[in-house]
Amino acid sequence: MTATAPKSRKHLCADSLIRLIHETLSQVPDHRPNRVKGKITLTDAFMSAFAMMHLKYATLLDFDREARTEELQYNLSHLYRVQGRIPCDTHMREILDPVDPIELRKPYKKLFAQVQRGGQLDAFKHPVGEFKNLHLLAVDGTGLYYSGKCRCQECCVKNEGKPSEAYYHQMLAACLVHPDRKVVLPLAPEPIVHQDGSTKNDCEKNALKRLLAHTKREHPHLELAIVLDGLYADAPTIELIKSYGWHFIIVAKDGNHGSLVEAMDTLDENGQVKRLESCEDNGTRHWYRYAESVPLNKSDPGQVNVLDYVETDKKGQRHTWCWVTDLPLNEETVYLIMKGGRSRWRIENETFNTLKNHGYNLEHNYGHGKQHLATNMAYLTILAFLVDQIQQLACPQFQKALSGKPRGARVYLWKMIIQHFQSWLIESWDELFTAMIQGQVARRIQIDTS
């Protein structure tokens, strides 16, 4: 089903979104005990760091150098609501390092509520059968940091006690996705870091438990289908998802689910498996084999619905998938479930690839700190990504500024924004985007030769 383009909403443009972030972060209690007059506030440190991420600065030092100019100080005040002094790179690290990362979950919820109230979530509905309000939540993990030298209290350890001992951070991300949309809506991510009181490294499955609990608490009324890779195709994960009243579409790989394949083959021999084939006008062929109430494995009596799918493109190349789900499988739903399962790649391409290779510098070490700095910087990076995704979804000025650009439009847009920031005194985001849409008249340098 093709998603209907949502209407634009003024409150989902940068000025309103950043004001909401400022209001939310201004409520975080300052962990510093002193009350020195004129000190840099925690809110200004938050907004300065967010501005650095949102403007796509590659390093904290680059931001520190340019933030001393009149143009950036003026623009940070008017566009990012930095009211006082901008912290230098070292001071910013010192201020943000002790902040509990749980505080940085709050702006995500506030922004999501704005999207929800504006009716924009309808663009992400993926109805399947009787489930008319279903949304696809793709979840996957990625690396943030790896070092053989620097270590903080949250680092997981690889090869502990060996000469090759190293330290790393990972993160579990969750995004609302739609098969027909490039825009994704990230929820607050879950860090995969050393947990207090634990002697073992954290892992994706433990992080998933925390992420799902947070998601249910923060978005209790969302009807979700959790879309996962083959790591999670096991009975405990499925039962956890169902305990929250949600649904699942999970990849099942032949090498890890031999008994599931055997069960499908046995059902097929007994005539209890259904098939469906179709062909598109461009020559792409779709082949489905599906059955319900199939044992997931021999040791667990839990049963799942299984969808095998083969796509043969017009060149004759075959691509195969298998998913387990609790959604009903029939002639009307297999195509929709296939599209839902394949939409998981959007968290790889539209999310991780964008965050790492298109200006957001997710894997860059802005300063590791001793406590939570690396985690907090990752939260702010993805928060900046969320603001941009909301604008791409619903802000007319952003959409116009983005349209008509060359290949790599988003990276080009970020470059144009930073050029304006460095050169002009700007009152608002609306003024900035208007200037970018209308363009600036080129002028030659005037030299006095008299």
158 phi, psi to nearest 5 deg: -110, 135
pLDDT tens digits for range 325-365? 999 999 999 999 999 999 999 999 899 999 998 889 898 88
Q: Is residue 34's pLDDT more than 80?
A: no
pLDDT tens digits for range 239-279? 999 999 999 999 998 777 888 989 999 999 999 999 999 99
pLDDT tens digits for range 436-449? 888 754 444 455 66
pLDDT band of residue 406 (cuts 50, 70, 90) is low
The answer to whether residues 221 and 268 belong to one domain is: no
pLDDT tens digits for range 281-306? 888 999 999 999 999 887 777 789 99
Tokens coding 117: 């109230």
The answer to whether residues 64 and 192 belong to one domain is: yes
Residue 450 covered by a domain? no
pLDDT of the residue at 405? 61
Domain that holds residue 316: 247-328
Residue 380 covered by a domain? yes
The answer to whether residues 181 and 278 belong to one domain is: no
Tokens coding 63: 């931001």
DSSP state of 131: B
Domains contained in the chain, number = 2
Residue 80 covered by a domain? yes
pLDDT of the residue at 68? 87
The answer to whether residues 149 and 22 belong to one domain is: yes
Burial (CB count within 10 angstroms: exposed 0-12, middle 13-18, buried 19+), residue 276: middle
pLDDT of the residue at 442? 43
* Mean pLDDT over each residue of the chain, to the nearest integer: 90
CA–CA distance, 56 with 79 (Å, rounded to integer)? 15
Residue 1 covered by a domain? no
The answer to whether residues 83 and 109 belong to one domain is: yes
Beta strands in 94-223 (DSSP E): 135-147, 156-158, 166-177, 185-186, 190-192
Percentage of the residues of the chain whose pLDDT score is greater than 90 = 68
Residue 214 covered by a domain? yes
pLDDT of the residue at 407? 57
pTM confidence score: 0.92
Q: Is residue 6's pLDDT more than 50?
A: no
User: 385, 360 in Cβ contact below 8 A?
Assistant: yes
The answer to whether residues 216 and 269 belong to one domain is: no
For the segment 153-177, the average pLDDT, to the nearest whole number, is: 92
The answer to whether residues 224 and 272 belong to one domain is: no
The answer to whether residues 59 and 145 belong to one domain is: yes
Residue 442 covered by a domain? no
pLDDT band of residue 39 (cuts 50, 70, 90) is confident
The answer to whether residues 192 and 308 belong to one domain is: no
Nearest CA among 346, 345, 322, 344 for reference residue 334: 322
CA–CA distance, 76 with 84 (Å, rounded to integer)? 10
Residue 340 covered by a domain? no
The answer to whether residues 43 and 191 belong to one domain is: yes
For the segment 90-103, the average pLDDT, to the nearest whole number, is: 95
Q: Is residue 5's pLDDT more than 90?
A: no
The answer to whether residues 194 and 269 belong to one domain is: no
Residue where a domain stops, chosen among 295, 328, 361: 328
pLDDT tens digits for range 416-440? 899 888 888 999 999 999 888 887 5
Nearest CA among 253, 250, 255, 259 for reference residue 297: 259
pLDDT tens digits for range 44-90? 999 999 999 999 998 899 999 988 899 999 999 999 999 999 999 99
Residue 104 covered by a domain? yes
Tokens coding 158: 């690889």
The answer to whether residues 122 and 167 belong to one domain is: yes
pLDDT of the residue at 194? 86
For the segment 144-161, the average pLDDT, to the nearest whole number, is: 88
User: 303, 260 in Cβ contact below 8 A?
Assistant: no
Q: Is residue 93's pLDDT more than 90?
A: yes
274 phi, psi to nearest 5 deg: -105, 155
